[in-house]
Structure 1
Amino acid sequence: MQETRLDTARIRAARRVIDPVFLDTPLYRCEALEPGLGCRVSIKLETANPVRSFKARGTEVVASLLADNASRAAVCASAGNLGQALAWSGRGRGLDVTVVASRFATRAKLDRIRALGARLELVDGDHEMARERAAAIARYEGIRLVEDSLDIETCEGAATIGLELVDTAPSFDTVLIALGGGALATGVGHVVKTLAPEVEVICIQPLGAPALTHSWRQRRVVITDSTNTIADGVAGRHPVPAVLDDLLLVADDAVLVQETSIIAGMRMLLDHAGLVVEPSAALGIAAILEDRDRFAGRHVVTIVCGSNVDVDAYHQWVSAAPIHRS
Structure 2
Amino acid sequence: MVKLQDILAARERIRGAIRPTPCEASDYFTERTGCSAIWFKMENLQHTGAFKERGALNKLLTLSAEEKARGVIAASAGNHAQGLAYHARKLGVKATIVMPERTPLIKVTRTRDEYGAHVVLQGANFDEAYAEALRIQKEQNLVFVHPFNDAQVIAGQGTIGLELLEQTPFMDMVVVPIGGGGLISGIACALKETNPRIQVVGVQTQALGSMKASLQAGHVVELPAGATIADGIAVRRPGELTFSMVRKYVDDVVTVDDEEISNAILVMLEQEKSVVEGAGAVGIAALINNHIPAANDKKVVVLLGGGNIDMNVISRIIERGLVKAGRLVRLEVRMPDRPGMLAGLTSQIAEQRANIVEIHHNRAFSKASLGEVMVEVTLETTGRPHIQELIDALSRQGWQVAEET
What TM-score, normalized by structure 1, do the two folds share? 0.94
Q: Residues 45-56 of structure 1: matches in 2 within 5 Å? A: 45-56=42-53
1:101 equivalenced with 2:99 (yes/no): yes
Using the TM superposition, give the Cα deviation of residue 146 of structure 1 relative to its aligned residue in structure 2, in angstroms: 0.6
- Tell me the number of residue pairs that the alignment of Structure 1 and Structure 2 aligns: 321
Using the TM superposition, give the Cα deviation of residue 218 of structure 1 relative to its aligned residue in structure 2, in angstroms: 1.9
One-letter amino acid of the counterpart of residue 130, structure 1: A
Residues 273-299 of structure 1, C-alpha deviation per residue, up to 9 Å, x if partnerless? 110110011000111122167133221
One-letter amino acid of the counterpart of residue 52, structure 1: G
Residues 167-187 of structure 1, C-alpha deviation per residue, up to 9 Å, x if partnerless? 221411111100011110100
Match of 2:30 in 1: 34
Using the TM superposition, give the Cα deviation of residue 84 of structure 1 relative to its aligned residue in structure 2, in angstroms: 0.3
One-letter amino acid of the counterpart of residue 76, structure 1: A
Cα distance between partner residues in 1 of 2:214 and 2:292:
26
Using the TM superposition, give the Cα deviation of residue 82 of structure 1 relative to its aligned residue in structure 2, in angstroms: 0.3
One-letter amino acid of the counterpart of residue 296, structure 1: N
One-letter amino acid of the counterpart of residue 22, structure 1: I
Which one has the largest radius of gyration? Answer: 2
The equivalent position to 2:10 in structure 1, one of 14, 18, 23, is 14
Unaligned runs of 5+ in 1: none
Q: Where has structure 1 moved over 3 Å in runs of 4 or more?
A: 322-325
Match of 1:250 in 2: 249
Alpha carbons 1:174, 1:301 under 8 Å: kept:
yes
Structure 1 residues 290 and 167, CA, compared in 2 at 3 Å: closer, same or farther?
same
Cα distance between partner residues in 2 of 1:223 and 1:125:
18
Using the TM superposition, give the Cα deviation of residue 315 of structure 1 relative to its aligned residue in structure 2, in angstroms: 1.5
Using the TM superposition, give the Cα deviation of residue 323 of structure 1 relative to its aligned residue in structure 2, in angstroms: 5.1
Cα distance between partner residues in 2 of 1:170 and 1:320:
38
Match of 1:318 in 2: 318
1:84 equivalenced with 2:82 (yes/no): yes
Residues 73-95 of structure 1, C-alpha deviation per residue, up to 9 Å, x if partnerless? 00001121000001011001111
Cα distance between partner residues in 2 of 1:171 and 1:122:
46
Match of 1:73 in 2: 71
SS at match of 1:43: strand
Q: Percent identity?
A: 28
Match of 1:157 in 2: 156
RMSD: 1.8
RCO (CA 8 Å, sep 6+): is it higher in 1 or 2?
1
Cα distance between partner residues in 2 of 1:96 and 1:219:
39
Cα distance between partner residues in 1 of 2:181 and 2:48:
19
Cα distance between partner residues in 2 of 1:323 and 1:66:
52
1:301 equivalenced with 2:298 (yes/no): no
What TM-score, normalized by structure 2, do the two folds share? 0.76
Using the TM superposition, give the Cα deviation of residue 206 of structure 1 relative to its aligned residue in structure 2, in angstroms: 0.5
Alpha carbons 1:105, 1:232 under 8 Å: kept:
no
Residues 90-111 of structure 1, C-alpha deviation per residue, up to 9 Å, x if partnerless? 0011111000111223332222
Using the TM superposition, give the Cα deviation of residue 14 of structure 1 relative to its aligned residue in structure 2, in angstroms: 1.1
SS at match of 1:165: helix
Cα distance between partner residues in 1 of 2:105 and 2:211:
26
Match of 2:273 in 1: 274
Cα distance between partner residues in 1 of 2:122 and 2:206:
25
Alpha carbons 1:19, 1:60 under 8 Å: kept:
no
SS at match of 1:22: coil
SS at match of 1:230: coil
Unaligned runs of 5+ in 2: 327-382, 384-405
Match of 2:237 in 1: 238
Match of 1:185 in 2: 184
